[in-house]
Structure 1
Amino acid sequence: MENRLPKIFELVCQNKRELTVREFATQFGVSTRTVYSDVKKLNELLETGGYPMIQADKGKLHYAEPLTIEFESLLASTSDFVLTNQRIRRLRIVETILLAGDQFTVEDLLKVLDISRNTLIADLKEIKEMLAIHSIAMESTPFKGYRVIAKELNIRNLLILSVSEDPLFFENRPFNDLEIIKKCEAFLDDVSGRLSVELSDVSFHRMLAAFWVTYARISMGKVFPEGPKDPLTREEITFLQKRKELASIFETEVSLDDCFYLANKLTEASVVKYEELLSEQWLPFHLVTNQFIEAVTKEYPFEAFVTDTKLYEGLLNHLRPAYKRALSEEWAENPLLDYVRENFSQLNDAVSKGVMLVEDKLKVHFNEHEVSYFTLLFASVIERNEKQVRRTPNVIIVCNAGISTSEILKSRLEAMFHVNILGTFSLRNAALWLMEHVPDFIVSTVPFKWKDIQVLKVSPFLSDYDIREIQNQLSFLTARIHLGDVMGIIRKYADIKEEQIPALKKELSLYLGFSEKTEPRKGIYQPMLKEILTTDLIQAKFSAGSRDEAVRESGRLLVEKGLADEAYIEAMLKNVEVNGTYIVIAPGIAMPHARPEEGALGIGLSIVTLKEPVVFGHPKNDPVKIVVGLCAIDHQSHLKALTELADILMDEKKVEEIINADSQQEIMKIIKGES
């Protein structure tokens, strides 16, 4: 890091060379993400010195005019930046306090921080209150200075937050610290690869801060008390496997709890890519994500929410770290919060209402920053769909006050909104016209209703309230050009041979700028449990000699029913091997499954009760007595049936009845609630 900044400064700012981020990454032997981080730090220095910042556009770095100053002169402005910027100065004081040990004096801080005593005393008063918010007490003791009293967890969390928000924290650190950061970066890349996750840039650098803070606190002799803990999460298992490597980087012993602390920080990190490897809460997350989408769609009707696969996967990916942050009372600040409030206020309100369902199910609370992240995921669906070619909405005016009033209203509507006024009508004529035509919505100055078409009652001169209502209607309106509608119009006036239709559709798609795939789809049909679970998908009192035999039997029932092929059983077994204990979703209940593309042919659930319980390897939920085989053709269509079954399996009495049942018919009666 120390050598990269001067080199980037020399090549880009002094020589004005246009180089790509990838070229720098190759030259320095680092990731492109690290180069972007370096540019951000360099821009902090440039901004502090009053110079233009480096622009990054499509992977290329640009600078306006060559600078004649040397990098050392630019770096000298860092101390001025820290001193004059109150927020950064106080971050430095917090960092110094928490890295000083349990006790410190004002003189200790003055030796490190080049500020006046009065400024320091004033800052300490504010910092004491801020520390209290993070459950850290700063008590003054006569003749000894100050004493810090807090749990190690709270100190580390605040240090990570402070270091992450201090843009130039590592610039003046000793060389050894920078080497440790470099090794931690490689370590984190390896861990992310093993877990098949891709962290966001912000999360990646926050994790590097967590590594350094852990190293710094261990070096001070501050470690978590080591105690017994089952490695339940994938992250904990991975860190445990790499514990010796981590100790080599830190050049000291790393306790189990220090490993688990870093593993937990990784579970709180936001990801941009997450391959479907199961977590300890995978089933509740899947079920609640589907319910969340439905709840938001009720509040903000937008057809594509329920069919957009990227939305479902995006919410699922974000939900786990958001849930982990909520549990540990951490939170990720969203820099786009104000943007969300200003540009997606209605959608954000709908998401805020919908997220209450998630909070209730998972027993956590999400603050407005987390909610706004969810809103952005829903907003991205709207953006993706808005890229389709839109047509001008068709509107009619119903008015009984005469032609002059209706013409004024028509003129105002055309001037203020992008709409196509098909005509102005009296009540009677509107009804006759509507018998043969279908506008997108109706604007009326009198009470009027017509079938399923939205009617907005307004004053003839359009009040502010009326204007807002029309704007809202237009924002909800999905008046887009659909290829099917275009073909329907053409067929009314032209005879087209059947073999010509595909070529015509293709040419129209190219001309209009969209394909048939972008046309809105109907909501995904989710069958109920009674529609997919039959007696031939149930096996009672099966004698399984091992975990694999139990899993194979649940898969056999699906295959014989034609819901999966043989390859799906092998994929189920592999998934159990890879995802281990996560398959056991509750005490005595396992739910093996595989990905849709690994041989699923339909939506299916099988139930196998075991004559003798089988150990699956879960430290708490073993042994398994019920095996539920699951197959699905996508991520959503099976969720209604799965939700119903999950509700049944949460009932301890029914679970006991199912375990004790002697036949599939008896189990089916219990499932149906007939016993």
Structure 2
Amino acid sequence: MEALNMNNDIYEMIHYLTMREYMKIDMLQKELHITHRQFIYRISKINQLLNERGKTELRVHDQVITVSKATNEDLKSILSEKIGLKEDYVLSRRERIICIFLMLFLNEPGMYLKIDVFSNQLQTSRTTTFSSISDLKKILVADGVQIVNNREQGYFLKGAEIDIRRVMSKFVISSLSIDHNKKKFDLVISGHGLLSYPEVLKVFQKTADRYKLNFVKSRLDELIYFLIFLRSRFCHHPLLNDYPQSLQMMTTFKEYDFSVDIIKQLNVQCSNLRTESYYLTSWILGISFGDIHADTKDKELITDWVKQLLLRFNSLSGNHYQASPKVFERLYAHIRPAYYRLLFDLPILNPLTNRAKKEYSALFSLVKETVRPYEAMFGRPIPDEEVAYLTLHFASIYFQELGIDSSEKTIKQTRKYGLIACSNGVGSSVILYNELVDMFPNIYFYHPISTHEIKDFSKPVDILFVTDSYDMPKEIDIPVVVVHPVISLDERYQLIHEVDMRMGRHSYQFENLMRIINEDTEIKCLGKLKRDLSAFLTTRSEISETPSFKKKNIKLLDIFQSSLIQLQVSATDWQDSIRIAFAPLLKKKMVTSEYVQSTVQDLKKTGPYIVITTHVALAHSRATNGALKNALGLAVLTSPVKFGSKHNDPVKYVFSLSVREDTNHITAMAELTNLLNDKGFFQCLDNSTSPQTVIDYVKKQLESQLKEGN
């Protein structure tokens, strides 16, 4: 039989097949965006691969693919095989682009690469190579990196070293996390005579064991390839030594000692060992989980950052949540690695970014505003990927407040326990957790954990949901279902069907139906009959399109009324300004006098945290202190007063907020924070003589934002 040429499409399908025991063909086609004809072709090629190795082929029957445990291991083995270019593998367009970048990345200073060098190594035509270089140029623009072409000498990369390294990191992360294919990396490594993956892995694991460091498998792969490609640039393309003195505390971390050790063991000659060690340490910390119980020199710094984030979020949202120790621990676990990623502008891949923006748009806006003051610290905007993860963490606080966790009564009534483990940490599993709770009311779900925590989880578990099967401990002996962090409606149907089959649900119906059918008919295919009956019993009508925890959101104009706005009023001090701002609400019996007094007392105890931006205060207290109705007032002062805020005094605009429930006014607060970034809004407040003019301006701006969003 003729040897099979491989490509990324086939590898993508193989990876997908390793994620489930069985799946419907139409769902697989939809997931991979392929036609039925393409599906048939790829399955035949995969079966050819299995056949060539003397392995059992995939079973395709009644529109369902079944993957046994043995076949699953065979497919994973194929993914890990070492191959050569052209004889065994055909590069895709995206892979050619990445290979060209890596070839330029590995080039020494002052050296150029001619078009024939690319064509020969990639074994592509000059026309195809020119096209790939052109595509790469467009991709690099967003990162401030250029491909410069000297007609006589060839091509080279131009840009800040930290930007060039970030691009390399993004290609590595996306290839391993999205494509699940490292073949192109192995081809470049072989073509340039670099240290191989097994060689670096051996050194890395041995050293990691000595320093007692553990890495999630997917993150470990990223770090190994990152090191392989970065090794040459340590020598020839050093980073500028312009990082803050506070980084010196990193020298006390075991991750720093590990980084220095690794650099030396890989025989890297660094012109600035300390700076490069800082960089590598930040990479390691950026893919690790922050342990609040570890006694590290940065613990006070990170703890204070988490506290300030919570305080600012509460001040912007009008909430008074007290994060439980568990929630604080989870925030710390995310904030510590995020701090080091931001410090060195290291990329992060967050598959939930668009979903977080769409599903939690108001919360996302508030979190984005919450972290805005920290942009000055890092000298750049906080990436949306980081904001999205924080959004999900704050969302988890809301879910606890809403009481969506299964009650003790539910625990006693059910015999099934479910656990969710996410390779990207608990933050990215927030949406998944709520969707699964909504889909499977008869399963009690524990709080999500990280994949690396599975082996230490001691409570009873009947079914495990994971977002990636590659980091799974091999000794798991319960049903494991691989799910996407974002589940579409069709996937919900497939998932319910799969869970029912794996857990033996509908067994009572099966037994009775089988007994009835057996009395009058002859069963030709028992497996097909069971699948058909399960599909019939699990109908789409059981599936809701959105989780049931969502509530109707209050919008800004629902609570911000002209009768609550006071223009050009005088106040003697900050306490007087708060009382003036609440006066219309008090008159309309929207708050009690105790609520106003509590707001003043809160500030005396905690400081001017309600001064949320330059010249603006958002005064509020706990709902239990006397919030009678949802309302937002505003007092525009003729003469600003000082609240004691170092960066935002004096205050001219004092908003007064009353909310009866801490969770349903987030949209209103998000709309308000957007207005506070609009200079025209403040011009309107300063120049208007009628409160209705202010309301008209707000209405116009909100309508404009709505149109832009659509």
Rg (Cα) greater in structure = 1
Could you state the TM-score of these two structures normalised by the residue count of structure 1? 0.43
Larger RCO of the pair (alpha carbons < 8 Å, separation 6+): 2
